[in-house]
Amino acid sequence: MNILSPSILAADFTRLGEQISEVDRAGAEYLHFDVMDGLFVPSISFGMPVLKSVRKATKRILDVHLMIENPERYVDEFADCGADLITVHAESCRHLDRVISQIHQKGKKAGVALNPATSLSALDYVLDKVDMVLIMTVNPGFGGQKFIESSYGKIRDLKSRMEAAGLHTDIEVDGGINADTLPGVLEAGANVIVAGSAVFKGNIAENVRNLKNIMEQK
């Protein structure tokens, strides 16, 4: 199943609740929540108080992406604030297996994200333990970046690796996704699609419908 996860990082925060309702009504399945700490990535975004408020505004799956150092410090709090799926970066976890277990112990789905230059080998001993792998298709930290073309091959390689292992783990992509890049990532094997500007810039409902139409054709 192909899933759209609009990133609220691109939303108008003066109208956040209203815009969340718009993507809900338009049919987006997830809502992507980018947490940045100014250390793992240069930018600082938002955290637990905002997540708690967003949880009250939607029943959609809250797809929380922790772009932070030592995420194990905050996993429990984000889970308690309403996250359904918590993704951590392999590059920021000293003990990745332990963090995955921590997320599962909170009753949440666990994802692992890989930066563009990080090899799939980082997943060698945890791939069968995660619910989702997030392939970053831009360098994390800023919205509006151009899609990195080598990501198509990385997604295909991950999909092949999963098929060889008999796994049906979700593959999420994040960064530079729009109507032009979406068909290629779907063909490569991704099924959870994060889109920021492509959803929130312009007519939200129309943007969601257009992206969903592309996803339904694949």
> Which residues participate in catalysis according to the annotation?
34, 174
**What is the residue-averaged pLDDT of the chain?**
96
pLDDT given at position 141: 81
66 forms beta bridges with: 35, 88
Q: Is 13 labelled a binding residue?
A: no
Average pLDDT over residues 3-17: 97
- The yes-or-no verdict on residue 143 having pLDDT over 90 is no
Number of domains in the chain: 1
CB 29 within 8 A of CB 3: yes
- The yes-or-no verdict on residue 208 having pLDDT over 70 is yes
CB 12 within 8 A of CB 58: no
Q: Is 153 labelled a binding residue?
A: no
Among 45-49, 63-67, 141-145, name the one with the lowest average pLDDT. Answer: 141-145
Parent domain of 22: 3-217
Q: What is the per-residue pLDDT across 49-84, written as a single tens digit (0 to 9) for each?
A: 999 999 999 999 999 999 999 999 999 999 999 999
- The yes-or-no verdict on residue 157 having pLDDT over 80 is yes
Average pLDDT over residues 39-52: 96
Q: Is 197 labelled a binding residue?
A: yes
* CATH number, position 107: 3.20.20.70
Q: Is 27 labelled a binding residue?
A: no
